[in-house]
Amino acid sequence: MIHIENLVKRYGSFVALDHLNLQIQEGEIFGLLGPNGSGKTTAICCLLALLKYDKGQITIFGKEMQPDRYDIKKDIGVVMQNVAVFEQMSVWENIDYFCGLYVKDKAKRRELVEEAIRFTDLEEYRKARPKKLSGGLLRRLNIACGIAHKPRLIILDEPTVAVDPQSRNKILEGIQELNRQGSTIIYTSHYMEEVEQICSRIAIIDHGRVLATGTTEELKNMIKTGETITIEAVAADEHLLEKLQTLPHVFDISYEKQVLKIRLSSGRHNLVRILNFLTEQDISFGRVFSELPTLNDVFLEITGKKLRD
């Protein structure tokens, strides 16, 4: 559905997109994951022909994207990072206005607007002006304005920034519902949990480059970490840490403030083996827990830094 090939975008000497390549299939919820300043929004702006790029090619629905390709634009819905609505118009008028940019038939538009209002649960606020709405409601209005015309492709650029957890869940459920109704979704965020929760495929992007692409499982399989065991209230010395390092599958150990963190590659009975070893060494310990790798681990291992740096 979308092909981005060798996309390069420079701002003076700063390279925002460095030969970015992406393939997005119809029906996917495709997550674009990266820290602030990684090039996510720039990539989206280039995709929507809002920004000129220096090199590369973008095709959407098999056609090359250009600023005047209104035949492509009519099937795209956009929900940008910042709330983009008219302060002087009511909720209903705003949705009707932005839907009207795509749908000329009045009766059909009225139906679509009503549907968008129901979908975003804004029935009570249809006559309210944006300044009377809370942050979460504003975000929902922003989404309603972007999706009312029922586009084939919906691009959501960090739609949950500064939203309370309740509204965030509502928004995420809505996105999944839109996908079920047949829309392909591109979702950018720096919230890993959200991306992990809703995206069928993810691209990790940093410094304007795609570092890895795949499903959550595929990405997790790409890294060495299979399990992280954390043991609290341990009195460990250098000698003990050296011995632990020699155990099977253990490849990284850190010890700080009496908390021992052991990272292991995938293997059976890793936890039992570690606990048996500590018992044999007559080492007492407090709480123990084991975690499977998260996208954060994936990001940490691939980029060498935390996602929210």
Stretch that binds other proteins, among 83-91, 111-119, 213-221, 227-235 (CB under 8 A): 83-91
| Share of the chain residues as helix, strand and coil, in percent rounded to the nearest 5 | 35, 25, 35
Report the residue from 1, 8, 19, 93 that binds other proteins according to the rule CB under 8 A.
93
Length reported for the chain: 309
Q: How far is the CB of 7 from other proteins (least distance, A)?
A: 18
Would strands 29-33 and 201-206 be described as parallel, antiparallel, or unpaired? Answer: parallel
How far apart CA 123 and CA 125 sit, in angstroms, is: 5
Q: How far is the CB of 75 from other proteins (least distance, A)?
A: 9
- Residue 30 as a binder of other proteins (CB under 8 A): the answer is no
- Residue 74 as a binder of other proteins (CB under 8 A): the answer is yes
Q: How far is the CB of 21 from other proteins (least distance, A)?
A: 23
For 3-47, the three-class secondary structure string (H helix, E strand, C coil) is EEEEEEEEECCEEEEEEEEEEECCCCEEEEECCCCCCHHHHHHHH
Q: How far is the CB of 255 from other proteins (least distance, A)?
A: 49
Q: Which is nearer to other proteins, 132 or 308 (CB)?
A: 132
> For 63-208, where are the E strands, in sequence order?
63-64, 76-79, 153-157, 184-189, 201-206
Q: Which is nearer to other proteins, 42 or 303 (CB)?
A: 42
Q: What is the DSSP letter of 130?
A: G
- Residue 102 as a binder of other proteins (CB under 8 A): the answer is yes
How far apart CA 94 and CA 78 sit, in angstroms, is: 14
Closest CA to 48 of 26, 75, 29: 75
Task: Give the rounded distance of the alpha carbon of 283 from its chain centre.
Answer: 42
How far apart CA 250 and CA 262 sit, in angstroms, is: 7
Encoding tokens for residue 161?
A: 């920034």
Residues between 44 and 73 with contacts to other proteins, criterion CB under 8 A: 48, 50-51, 67-68, 70-71, 73
- Residue 95 as a binder of other proteins (CB under 8 A): the answer is no
- Residue 87 as a binder of other proteins (CB under 8 A): the answer is yes
Q: Which is nearer to other proteins, 48 or 244 (CB)?
A: 48
Residues between 130 and 169 with contacts to other proteins, criterion CB under 8 A: 145-146
Q: How far is the CB of 49 from other proteins (least distance, A)?
A: 8
Q: How far is the CB of 52 from other proteins (least distance, A)?
A: 9
User: Which residues are near other proteins by CB under 8 A?
Assistant: 48, 50-51, 67-68, 70-71, 73-74, 76, 78, 80, 82-89, 93, 97-98, 100-102, 145-146
